[in-house]
Structure 1
């Protein structure tokens, strides 16, 4: 019996990047149809990876983001030796992220040079940012894929998973559902104003739509403020679900309005009608990977600045996106 080509991917630490990494998984399965792809990833992402059919196994990374722990990385690497991986793809650019594949004795270790990782990576690539302008391109290029042709991520949610989350949260889809994603982990310069989200919620509720608020525990205060301003017309799930439950709930939505965030990339990968709002970030660098996604950005002279907070103190790149423009983009 021929041994399958075993691949370990050291996954990224952000929701959006993990979704975009699926494009690499799709390419690898195309190149090596019988390969097994395991992903070493943060615990929060394991159930997200389970919704990517290309992934054979999701392995929890016990060390937190930014945690070094050299001895811990040596133990993890040695513990993976029994998997007999043939190649590793290291997606983060940090020096420490390349340690585990090295200590796992994986013969071919692929990634960008990043923090001078010569030796740890023996298939080290120099990143040409002028040529690889998008995050998804940088991931896919590690598999030597033609940059003009990269597949879009596509999460798969079963009817059983939808039925389970419907029963768990006692929701119905008898009427159209608008999902609002008001969070953005990076900072306030990526967040559309709560007053604008509330205006959209009130308008769509009057049109007979359900309005759901989705987000993490960190987004809960913002979501609560939106619900107050919208006169409590929203169903607020922010902070009441884990990521997998939020993904499964979003799979029931008809339209998603989102800041540039991890959930924006999830919506694109779920093939949803998506309206994506960009302020301080660049839609050319991390766009939603969906051919019909509608990107709204004002292209001001001061943006994209890539700052967590507006250096000019006004955030006009977001405040000047009127709710009426977003409402007009929602199909009836």
Structure 2
């Protein structure tokens, strides 16, 4: 059996798809499972032993590019996949598997794609409140209940990979390390204030911890603000995603906004404090027994907005660094 995954376009969503991959291998022990994924999430998939290979999806968010999709579909057709699991609910995500002529095309009915998906699940949001559950449901027969508990997402990071990353970045291995993930791609309503991160960095430094801030190039200004106020080395934008995975794996604990790297830290099994403001831990929680969720649970949250619609961001502004410190320390 040879199958393809059409992966999500977000790092955190891709991590939360891992229980699906585990379930698929449980059902078909000889399965050869590949993934079609954007290059910015491919490193996450390559850290999952269930994925045999990753095919590059060169399309940006919202980009149609029909001629390029047709060419990619022809390349996939030559690989003769038996089935495909389409995780995003968009029409575009289902188009390439249809053009590739993959016999079984499995997914939720989604937006106007009845003819593109021929093994169609109907989403019951009450029965499947979490995103990871919705992905895992695709491993079951249509209409069958989802077996619980789900396998936990897992990413691999070996000592050899970690040593290679430290050497490539010219970083010593700290005796006590805390990693901050202060960014959030979705928007500022998911970001704990930089001054709070800086206060926490000073408290941790007084206890002998080295603090590294990790994130994308877009997070570099946030990392600079934290570094200017507290002793936290700004590595945002200085690492590849592969390297960020290895550095997070070295941490004694991690403090994150609700972000892709939060899910990476959870899948690496690191002790984790996850800070929630505008989003909901009920839908996308860090799936790890070592994770702690901290939220003020104000009446106005979760609002799921990119920016605070009330203009005050109390859900994160009023989340005190001392409380986060108490929750985070072993």
TM-score (ref. length: structure 1): 0.96
Between the aligned partners of 2:214 and 2:8, the Cα distance in structure 1 is 22
Residue among 298, 309, 325 paired with 2:307: 309
Correspondence for 1:171: 171
Contact 1:213 1:238 in 2 (8 A): yes
Correspondence for 2:268: 270
Between the aligned partners of 1:121 and 1:327, the Cα distance in structure 2 is 48
Correspondence for 1:83: 79
Contact 1:162 1:249 in 2 (8 A): yes
Correspondence for 2:220: 220
Correspondence for 1:261: 259
Between the aligned partners of 1:146 and 1:138, the Cα distance in structure 2 is 9
Choose 171-180 or 17-26, whichever is displaced more.
171-180
Q: Deviations over 1:218-266 (max 9, x none)?
A: 0000110011011xx2221101111111111111111000000000000
Correspondence for 1:323: 321
Choose 248-257 or 62-71, whichever is displaced more.
62-71
Correspondence for 1:239: 237
In the TM superposition, residue 292 of structure 1 has moved relative to its aligned partner by: 2.4
In the TM superposition, residue 182 of structure 1 has moved relative to its aligned partner by: 0.5
Between the aligned partners of 1:207 and 1:20, the Cα distance in structure 2 is 34
In the TM superposition, residue 174 of structure 1 has moved relative to its aligned partner by: 4.2
Between the aligned partners of 1:38 and 1:170, the Cα distance in structure 2 is 34
Between the aligned partners of 1:54 and 1:218, the Cα distance in structure 2 is 31
Between the aligned partners of 1:108 and 1:199, the Cα distance in structure 2 is 53
In the TM superposition, residue 273 of structure 1 has moved relative to its aligned partner by: 0.2
The equivalences for 1:46-195 within 5 A come to 46-144=42-140, 146-195=146-195
Between the aligned partners of 2:240 and 2:170, the Cα distance in structure 1 is 16
Specify every segment of 5 or more residues in structure 1 that has no aligned partner in the other structure, as ranges.
none
Contact 1:181 1:259 in 2 (8 A): yes
Correspondence for 1:33: 29
Structural RMSD (CA): 1.1
Correspondence for 2:207: 207
Instruction: Flag the 1:310–1:147 CA change in 2: closer, same or farther, 3 A.
Output: farther
Specify every segment of 5 or more residues in structure 2 that has no aligned partner in the other structure, as ranges.
none
Q: Deviations over 1:135-187 (max 9, x none)?
A: 00000001117242211110011222111011112223341100001000011
SS at match of 1:41: strand
Choose 255-264 or 120-129, whichever is displaced more.
120-129
Equivalent residue pairs, number: 326
In the TM superposition, residue 270 of structure 1 has moved relative to its aligned partner by: 0.4
Between the aligned partners of 1:84 and 1:19, the Cα distance in structure 2 is 26
Correspondence for 1:23: 19
